[in-house]
Amino acid sequence: MTRVLYLYGGWPGHQPYQVAEEWARPLFAELGFDVEETNDVFALDADLTGYDLIALNWNNALLSEGLSAAQEDSLLGAVAAGTGIAAWHGAAAAFRTSIKYHWLLGGSFLEHPAGEGVKHPYEVSIVDKSHEITRGVGDFRVASEQYYMSVDPNNHVLAETTFTGEHVPWIDGYRVPQAWTKTWGRGRVFYSAVGHDLDDLRNPDVTRLCTQGFAWAARDAK
């Protein structure tokens, strides 16, 4: 059975506990995952190599928060050895001072041009329709924080969004990845920027994208 460490919590603005109860647990159950939940980042101090997947919905309140060197080494070492990463939304804004964590994840949140927490409607377009993660997933529309991100140019981009320039005129027409994959050693990484609240995650296309992304990430890349 697939062993999963699910780290969630921190700042309550992204509803991490409600998301766990009403969205993540049913998703993991559908996949048949054996999940160990934790709300304590010190869980990353342990040997993580026994897990097939680490699911991340940790949310930081302070820009100064980061992982310790030991936590970084434990996490990156486990992924290099074959443990997968599945993360969404606020995970790209977590552990801001941990550069290696963001290198592993493949990106870092920069800003939501419409404003924090604003229910701003935007489109997400699937750019790789042939990947197993996007099978059956159509373009979709959500109404929440549209993430403008700094991303690793070597990511395999699955979906992107286009900014209109309504709030910041000079980014009109700019396209920014919103879901991607990458590998780190033998470990697979999947990230989706969508997921500010339950309404976003309950979108059938978002749930399907994440379900298939989690299943993909839980398998050893080699």
Per-residue pLDDT, 147: 94
Q: What is the residue-averaged pLDDT of the chain?
A: 94
For the CA atoms of 16, 20, 21, 26, what is the dihedral angle to 10 degrees? Answer: 150
The mean per-residue pLDDT over the stretch 37-54 comes to 95
From 142, 138, 140, 128, select the one nearest 180 (Cα to Cα): 128
Angstrom distance (rounded) from CA 126 to CA 61 = 31
The mean per-residue pLDDT over the stretch 26-43 comes to 96
Angstrom distance (rounded) from CA 86 to CA 9 = 15
pLDDT, one tens digit per residue, over 130-167 is 999 999 999 999 998 899 999 999 999 999 999 999 99
What does DSSP assign to residue 192?
E
The residue to which tokens 């940790």 are assigned: 58
Dihedral sign, CA of 40, 209, 221, 189? negative
